[in-house]
Amino acid sequence: MRNAAYISDYHIHSSCSFDAKHSMAEMVKSAMEQGVDEICFTDHVEPLEESRLRTLTPEHDWAKHLAQYEEAKAVSDGRIRVRLGAELGEITMTDTAIGDHLLETAPPLDFVIGSVHAVKLHGEVTDLMWLKGRGESVWREAIGLYLGEVRRLIDWGRFNVLGHLTLPLRYAKQDRGMENLSFAPYRDEVADILQRLIDKGLGIELNTNRGANPLPDEPWLRLYRDLGGEIITMGSDAHTPEFIGCAMEECQELLRACSFRCFATFEAQQPIFHKL
């Protein structure tokens, strides 16, 4: 029996993303089968080419998004609320004017995730995924660089929530087995980032990480709440249908344990709060 009053998944990728293969319609069908009440498609929109190298791609094929979005809404037939969003990544790797252009040429979006997946390591743009074979010292350097990129992203600020704050741990701990690596040595930097978000009226995402360790996890959720943070969305980061809605009820319990009273969904980039 489902214990949650309302389940939303606000981090979903379709074949409109370079790293996913299923259509929005397929993802909607799965969401309905899983009993999810609301979803938002947040496909990758970035100023770099698909491999996140240096080549600029200042234009984006929004028509592809819209065509799939309309098909997905038709499939939903009103049985599930379907929103159109985007995950804006690597904006700080280039002139942020390109990020401005990507947004200004976009259709009306309900929701925007701001995220960082890459760092400039030794002068080269390096996706965090590519560090899987590196040692712990390189990962510690990368986390420091990552937090710097996050601060620059917040300075730009044209998004609604910061995605998967502790993302480097997905690759370092889950894929590399570095269980001793944590964000604890960077507490002051993380607190500064969270305060900057709050001061700008921006939120964070609780990324359920497809059922693995949440990003961010309890210490950072508590810190955000203690600092006065209220805007928080929940997303699975699903790239395939079976992960839609994954671990949402457990993560709602986590939010309650961290003294959150509500979580957010969005319409026309304005938060709508749902009681936990």
pTM score of the predicted model: 0.95
Q: Label residue 54 by pLDDT band (50, 70, 90).
A: low
How many angstroms separate the CA atoms of 89 and 102, rounded?
Answer: 11
Cβ proximity of 7 and 39 under 8 Å = no
How many angstroms separate the CA atoms of 123 and 161, rounded?
Answer: 28
Predicted pLDDT of residue 1: 38
Listing DSSP states for 84-152 in one string gives EEEEEE-GGGS-HHHHHHHHHTSPP-SEEEEE--EEEETTEEEEGGGGTTS-HHHHHHHHHHHHHHHHH
pLDDT in tens, 88-137: 999 998 889 999 999 999 999 999 999 999 998 888 888 898 886 678 88
Which is nearest to 230 in space by CA: 264, 268, 253, 188?
Answer: 264
DSSP β-bridge partners for residue 118: 127
How many angstroms separate the CA atoms of 111 and 88, rounded?
Answer: 11
pLDDT in tens, 65-74: 999 999 999 9
Select the more confidently predicted residue: 173 or 6.
Answer: 6
How many angstroms separate the CA atoms of 163 and 145, rounded?
Answer: 17
